[in-house]
Each structure stands twice: as structure tokens, then as C-alpha cells.
Amino acid sequence: MGFKQIDLILPPDFSDAMMRSEVAKVLGISEFTCQIVSQSLDARKKSFVHWLVRVGVCSEHLSGDAEIPKPSLKIPYKKRKQKVLVLGSGPAGFFSAYVLQLAGFNTVLVERGSMVDLRARQIAQFEDKGVFHPQGNYAFGEGGAGTFSDGKLTSRSKHISAERRFIAETYIAAGAPKEIAWLAHPHIGSDNLQKVVAALRLEYQNLGGTILFETRIEDIQAEGRNIVEAYTASGAIKSNIFVLAPGHSAYETYRMLMKRGVAFRLKNFAIGSRAEHRQELINKAQWGVERLPGVKAAEYRLASSGKTNQPVYTFCMCPGGVVVPSTAYALSNTVNGMSFYPRDGRFANAACVAGVHPTQLAPWIKTPYDALLWLEQLEQSYFAFSGKYAAPSCTIADFLKGKSRGRLPESSFPLGLVDAPLWSMMPKAVVDALRFGLTEFNLKVKGYSEGVLIGLESKTSSPVQVIRDSSGLCEGFDNLYLVGEGSGYAGGIMSSAADGIKAAIAIIAAY
């Protein structure tokens, strides 16, 4: 049996039959099996938008090439006596616990938020009636921040090929769409993610893993270089190894860790707003047409280095999606974006942020503790502006002019927009950089300034980073790992999950 990989150019709405007929034509064979290896949309020429598809073909009529071995994760099983406590059921915490359980450890996953079904109802109640639930919101609850998201699995992290494949295969086995294995820009969709997260929990429990919901780790206790116990409202939990994956929204958890001697440093991060546009405007700008059969909705990614060398960029774009109230705490306002698998909503949104170092934001910011306090206060000031969970917003045109016309366009944001001078609600360095970047974006995407900026977008990355090694082991400790987005080394579902897996693999090797 021979194997060959070939590259095909196929129309936006190609079918399996069309792909097979192209394979037959290119290779001159009629009996074969084939599978897509990778697929990306090429929209550089608006008159010729097409898919670039790499196909792996197996046939007795082919000679030569052997199938290229795929990177895979080695998880050696043996019954182990050590107990591992994992904090947080987001991608980093879940995958860490799952891999450790597969390897034979005795793991307990502790999650402050609710199970996914209840969490979905709590979020719906927040969006319908403005009743905020501290245990069930866009940041906290089963599956972490990634559950009610677009479920984009893109990541620029290097050296995670084996982890990436393991994560995609685990998601597919739990019900995620199969094409996430080969699409250049894979996404699961919030509707699918909720089912996937519940299926993964059952799989983890079937392996013998324990999961505790609505249980917050409030403190930890060290003896020398080892953590021995974690405290929750219902009592202490002893463990041999502690893997913490709290995400970057859990302010009190960060403070507790700082108090207990876990060392952090300041790092660059980004703040700004969500930019929202009509999806048809983005489709037209990217493809030259408002609809393209076979492709769900156009994406974009924009970047500008800025006059002051302060980067401005779009991030986490959600085609056909919704801007959501993603605050983790009451009386605070942050926004983020999500979409369902069909990506068929009327709006497109993306974070539009300026990169900053925390010390640029206020003269009193000297330590990681200060940076988190500043950020928390900024998030609260957005709530204070509207006095409710409606989001302070202005059009991009008004932001550029620094003058409000008092008119806001229709939006997907469920809790309403409030006209606000966003240019005076963020530090001047951020506003200046954003103005420069938005002016450039308007030249790149026709009609970009027609969009609306919805605040506050403060969660693209963390302003602090723990001091740890590449496996996540914290400086000064022998059994404490801090992983995922909260560690300051990962961002997004894929890289956070991979970071959690790397810690698990290091623990397997060490014990």
C-alpha cells in the first residue's frame, strides 16, 4: 500500500465527491482512500477565494512515500499512590487532571463554579434579568472560561504538536466536530463545547477521577518547600502534588498565592474594547461579496505597530458571534466574544486592544499585586459608569474624533450598550495607541470605522506571570505547579490545555 500527500485548490463549497474526483485526476487512479490533512481558506484575491486542501491518499496503485508519522503523546500507565489536587476545570486544569488520571494517579479536580448545565442557566439568567451568579458566569464554572466561547483552537504556541493532536482527538472523541483535526482555523462553537465539557467530565470520572463543584480553594499551607493542604469552605484537602490552573480572572486566588510566597513578576498584557461590526460588512471587505456558499463567515486579524511602538491588534475574533458580559465578579464590567458552531449571527466581533506594560498605566504600579488591583478597579469603573451591566460603548468614528454623537448602532450584546466617552476611560497611552491602530484598520478593512467599541476588554492576557520552570513548577516549591492562562505563560484554549498537559507529563516523569 503506497501513500501520497497532494495539494488541491478547491472551490469554497466543494464536496467530498468533488475532492475525490480531483484526487483521481491528479494521481490517475480510481481506487484509493483519502483524508484531509489540512485545509485553509485563501481569500487574498477577492475574485478567486478558494480552499487550499492537503489530502493524504492511500492506494495499492501508489508506490513510494510512507505515511508521515504523527507526533503523539506518551502517557505510561501504572497504579501510583500519590494524590494530585488540581484547581480549576478549565482547559489547563482539566487536561492536566485527565492525563494524570490516565497515568494512574489519584486525582481530585476542584472547581469553584457550577456544573455546565446549571452554569448555562445561571448565565441565561444574568443575560435575561441582570442577576449575576458568582459561581456560574462566563469566567467561572465547569470547563472554565473556554466553555461559553467561540471554541477557536488556533494557537501560535510552538513545540506543542503532540499535545495539540492529543487535545483535538480528545475533543473529537467527546463529540467535537471532526474537522478540528485538519482546519487551519478550527472552532468548536459554544453549543458543542457545553456537550463536550460534560462528556469529558464523565470520561474522567469513569477513569476514577474525582471532581468537586462549587468548591473554592481559599488557602494553601506549606511545610518547607512542599504544599501539604488546601482549604475550602467545607474543609481541608491533603495532597502530595498541587496543580493550580485558576485562569486569569480569579483575583482573590492570585492574592492568596502571593501571600503564601508564590513569586510573580509583571509582564506585558493588553487592554481595549470589543469591536463589533455587521458580519456582512466584514464578509464584503474580506471576500468582495456578502455571502460565500461553503464558508460560514469571514474572519479577520489586524495588527499595527503604532507610532509609539505600542502594538495594537485584534484578537479572538468571533465571526457570526455575540459580545458577552464576561465579568467574573459582581459590580464589574468586562466583555468577551463567543459564537455557536454555525457562526450564523448577524455580527462579527473581535478584541481590539493595545499592548502595554503595567508600569505605563499608573505611576503607583510597581508590583504584580498593584497591577491586579489597578485592573480590578478599571473593571469596576466600567460598571460604575453605567451603574449596571450595560456596557459603556462608542462608535469607532466617535472614538477617533473624541466626540460622541450619542448614537449607537444595533448590537448583539445582551445587556444593552450605554453611550460613553471610552477615550477618557482608559489611560492616555492606550487611547493614543488605539486611535493610531484603528485608523490603520479602517484603511485595511473598508467600513471598519462604522463599528462600535464595547468595553471593557481586559482579559486577552494576564499582566502578571508566575516564576516557574517550563513544566509549571513554581520557584521555591517542590510540588506546586501553576499552569494555564493564570500562570502568564499561556493564552487561549489550546495553549492553556497544552500547558496543563506539560505539567502532567513532568509529574509523571518525576514520580
Ligand X SMILES: Cc1cc2nc3c(=O)[nH]c(=O)nc-3n(C[C@H](O)[C@H](O)[C@H](O)COP(=O)(O)OP(=O)(O)OC[C@H]3O[C@@H](n4cnc5c(N)ncnc54)[C@H](O)[C@@H]3O)c2cc1C
Q: Which is nearer to ligand X, 56 or 247 (CB)?
A: 247
Q: Smallest gap, in angstroms, from Cβ of residue 48 to ligand X?
A: 29
> Using an 8 Å Cβ cutoff, are 434 and 312 in contact?
yes
CB of 194 to ligand X, least distance (A): 13
Q: Name which of 392 and 500 has its Cβ closer to ligand X.
A: 500
Backbone region of residue 214 per phi and psi (left: phi > 0; alpha: psi in -120 to 50; beta: other values): left
Which cell numbers hold the place of 102? 490516565
Interatomic CA distance for residues 191 and 152, integer angstroms: 13
Quote the DSSP letter at residue 181: G
Q: Distance between CA 389 and CA 378 in Å, rounded?
A: 14
Q: Which residues are at the interface with ligand X (CB under 6 A)?
A: 87-93, 110-113, 138-141, 144-146, 148-152, 216-217, 245-247, 250, 253, 316, 324, 326, 336-338, 484-486, 491-494, 496
Closer residue to ligand X in complex, CB, 8/490: 490
Least distance CB 5 / ligand X (angstroms): 28
CB of 505 to ligand X, least distance (A): 17
Radius of gyration of the chain (CA): 24
CB of 138 to ligand X, least distance (A): 5
State yes or no: cis peptide before 100, omega within 30 of 0: no
Q: Which is nearer to ligand X, 8 or 86 (CB)?
A: 86
Are 511 and 503 within 8 A, CB to CB? no
Count Cβ atoms below 10 Å from residue 206 Cβ, excluding itself: 9
Q: CB 309: neighbour CB atoms within 10 A? A: 8
Cell of residue 293, nine digits: 456558499
CB 161 to ligand X: min, Å: 17
| Least distance in angstroms from the C-beta of 309 to ligand X | 26
Q: Which is nearer to ligand X, 313 or 423 (CB)?
A: 313
Closest contact distance (angstroms) between CB of 460 and ligand X is 8
- 3-state SS, one letter per residue, for 194-244: HHHHHHHHHHHHHCCCEEECCCCCCEEEEECCEEEEEEECCEEEECCEEEE
- Angstrom distance (rounded) from CA 266 to CA 365: 10
**DSSP states along 382-419:** HHHHHTSSSEEEEEHHHHHHT---S-------TT-EEE
Query: DSSP class of residue 146?
Result: G
Distance in Å, CB of 94 to ligand X, minimum? 7
Question: What is the number of other CB atoms lying within 10 angstroms of the CB of residue 18?
Answer: 13
Tell me the HSE value of 238 on the side-chain side, using a 13 A CA sphere.
2
Shortest distance, position 382 Cβ to ligand X, whole Å: 16
| Whole-number Å distance between alpha carbons of 389 and 97 | 35
Q: Which residue, 9 or 202, has its beta carbon nearer to ligand X? A: 202
Query: What residues contact 275, with CB distance under 8 A and at least 6 apart?
Result: 314, 349, 350, 351, 352, 396, 448, 451, 452, 453, 454
Nearer to ligand X, 209 or 491 (CB): 491
Using the minimum distance from each CB to ligand X, give the nearer residue, 273 or 496.
496
CA 77 to chain centre: 30
CA 362 to chain centre: 28
How many angstroms from the chain centroid is the CA of residue 470?
Answer: 20
